[in-house]
Amino acid sequence: MDPVSRRKVLLAGGAMGALGALTVAAPAQARPLWTWSPTRSVAGSGKGADPQWVWDEEADQLLASVLDRGDVPQVNQLLRTWNRNDQPLPDGLPRDLREFMERARRLPSWADRSKLETAAEFNKTRGFYLNLLNGVGGGMLSTAIPKEARAVYYSKGGADMEDRVAKTSKLGFAVGALDAYRPGGSIVVEAVKTRLVHAAVRHLLPRSPGWNEHNGGQKIPISQADMLVTWHTLPTFAMRRLLEWKVPVDAADSAAYLHLWQVTAHLLGIRDEYVPATWEAAEAQSHQLLDPVLGPTREGVELTDILLGQLAEQTSPGSVDRPLVDALARYLVGDRVADWDGIPREPFWEKTIETVWPKLVAFREKLLPLPLVPPLAWTLDEAARQYILFYLTKGRGTHIEIPETNRP
């Protein structure tokens, strides 16, 4: 299995994460009536309104004003200096934006620090799988969500997917970092910035002729349902695959990993009444929201090809890497989604991965109890993540920033 190096697998995760880390999202087709009960949420109660018709009202009104006032360039410049969870907001921000961000950065009252620490340790030992599943797997699911693919394609980021990959990888890596929710971490920063980006896109994208032609009747993108759809391509999908691969996950780690993503959902602006309280509730919600909206689009196929092409270039041009990554993506999401994404069949690599992967998982799990293996595994994974960001940004670094326009 030498070609399947840790670097290539994690690099794949960074590239695919462009479409799978709570980016612009919108489900595609008709779906069943909303029946999921808010009693199954972290809030334990709520109005039970269909999230398809609920957005992020406070953030949306605010960002519309910020855009219309022409404040975006100044705000983006100031927010480049805001990088740590414990860091004060930069001076000079418009007063209304500052007041909103001070509220938005607070953890919910139900956040459990001990669970967040347990989740960090879980990421240390299982980061290899999680980067692969959240990156390649979640990314390929996202390109098979028609309105999500179109929203990404017609928004500003769709014109420069390498930059889009870098920005979204920054968010994804912040979630999985050991210090994610510690003072020196950055997930609070990146999540709040992403919430601002989503609000800006809700204001901008309805002005795009391309998006309006293919929006399926949706007048405003990125509803609460849309964000939940993408959320399920990440933790729900990842935990499902871990269990299918027979990766040992005890009850404490399982609950902690879910909690990590529950808190992240809150910071991204998803209402507590929609955030699943248990994995069982998450699976039920995923079946209602995600499963019915999967399907093929021209935009999804094109974005998939761009991402897989980037991946081949980032590893070893001219080698077997593109067929290998195609086969890996197909293995993760299955033939139906892979066909919708236009991923070519690679019989040799598909058979190889199908045969070798379970053995690789079993072998890795046997090594994990050894004293030095978890920290060594984390060190290698972290080095690969830093390499991904360095490569994608040509060493210049990147920042999640509020857009001012759609795709040119």
Residue 357 has pLDDT above 50, yes or no: yes
Assess contact for 32 and 288: CB atoms under 8 A: yes
Residue 143 counted as domain residue: yes
Instruction: Give the pLDDT mean for 139-159.
Output: 86
Residue, of 75 and 306, whose pLDDT is higher: 75
Residue 139 counted as domain residue: yes
Residue 377's pLDDT is what? 58
How far is Cα 75 from Cα 66, in angstroms, rounded to an integer? 9
Joined together, the tokens standing for residue 73 give 């360039």
Residue 38 counted as domain residue: no
Other beta carbons within 10 angstroms of residue 15's beta carbon come to: 31
How far is Cα 112 from Cα 284, in angstroms, rounded to an integer? 24
Residue listed under structure tokens 């020196």:
184
How far is Cα 28 from Cα 406, in angstroms, rounded to an integer? 20
Report how many domains make up the chain. 1
Residue 390's pLDDT is what? 46
Q: How confident is residue 18, by pLDDT bands cut at 50, 70 and 90?
A: very low
Q: How confident is residue 22, by pLDDT bands cut at 50, 70 and 90?
A: very low
Instruction: Give the pLDDT mean for 83-100.
Output: 98
Residue 41 counted as domain residue: no
Instruction: Give the pLDDT mean for 292-302.
Output: 93
Residue 43 counted as domain residue: no
Instruction: Give the pLDDT mean for 337-364.
Output: 92
Helix (H, G, I), strand (E, B) or coil at 406: strand
pLDDT digit string (tens) for 222-269?
Answer: 999 999 999 999 999 999 999 999 999 999 999 999 999 999 999 999
Residue 317 has pLDDT above 70, yes or no: no
Q: How confident is residue 380, by pLDDT bands cut at 50, 70 and 90?
A: low
> Which candidate, 225, 337, 272, places its Cα nearest to that of 45?
272
Residue, of 71 and 209, whose pLDDT is higher: 71
Residue 371's pLDDT is what? 63
What whole-number percentage of the chain has pLDDT above 90?
Answer: 58
Residue 114 counted as domain residue: yes
Residue 2's pLDDT is what? 40
How far is Cα 265 from Cα 272, in angstroms, rounded to an integer? 8
Residue 104's pLDDT is what? 98
Range of the domain at 347: 6-31+49-392
Q: How confident is residue 80, by pLDDT bands cut at 50, 70 and 90?
A: very high
Half-sphere exposure of 278 (CA within 13 A, CB side): 8
Residue 115 counted as domain residue: yes
Residue 175 counted as domain residue: yes
Joined together, the tokens standing for residue 379 give 């060190």
Other beta carbons within 10 angstroms of residue 1's beta carbon come to: 12
Q: What is the pTM of this model?
A: 0.86
> Which candidate, 250, 254, 247, places its Cα nearest to that of 360?
247
Residue 120's pLDDT is what? 93
